[in-house]
A and B are shown apart, each in its own frame.
Chain A
């Protein structure tokens, strides 16, 4: 995503169910309650309060594996069947989150430009990677074509 597009993103709140969306505009239909044209602009401090810290954390290897399985469901790619390999990647991402703040791919390295490095959060947009087109695997091999 370009920096110009990133700069245009704002926070939106569904006035029916308090769903929060971060994007250039709010969804036409709320994905949570189905209300139409219900999103109004909201500011960052208020949005953080509306979200409420429910205590959910993706802070274990097993949780990450569940998230990735769900992410790949019904898609043209699947989680790499080599579980030991996948677990090593998950450990690396958790380590990166502890040391560098976000679940960056352990097979990348941050550039130091925070916005550019958002592209390195796993799962990344691997469809655009030459390596995915050539080999059918994302850069780190976490996802492989079915």
Chain B
């Protein structure tokens, strides 16, 4: 898998919504050919910088500001954001 072809789950260690979404992301990931890469952003500046590099698209998905949990598809350049993301949303976003 190319570095820029990943499905990424950006999450924060102390974010309760991320913790709730985590098992849903894992379940969706297990059904995909390309597993979802999980990147924690509050304790890794490298991961935070990667998220910021996709900031314009993720901000729109989050309703204005960068937020977690967020998912970014490097191939389609589409993002999902927030606690109300469902497994079906993730599968659709990944397979598009």
Contact = CB atoms under 8 A, between A and B. Distances in A.
A76 interface: no
B12 A92 contact: yes
A111 B66 contact: yes
Contact of A139 (B14, B41, B43, B67): B67
Contact of A120 (B41, B65, B84): B65
Given A89-B16, A107-B15, A111-B55, A99 B42 contact: yes
A95 B14 contact: yes
Given A119-B65, A129-B63, A130-B64, A106 B83 contact: no
A109 B63 contact: no
B90 interface: no
Interface size class of B (residues with CB under 8 A): 20 to 34
A140 B12 CA distance: 12
Interface in B71-91: 82-84
A130 to B, nearest CB: 4
A106 B64 contact: no
Q: Which of B10, B16, B41, B43 has the most CB of A within 10 A?
A: B16
A99 B55 CA distance: 21
Nearest to B51: A109
A88 to B, nearest CB: 5
Nearest to A120: B65
B86 to A, nearest CB: 15
Given A88-B16, A96-B42, A107 B63 contact: no
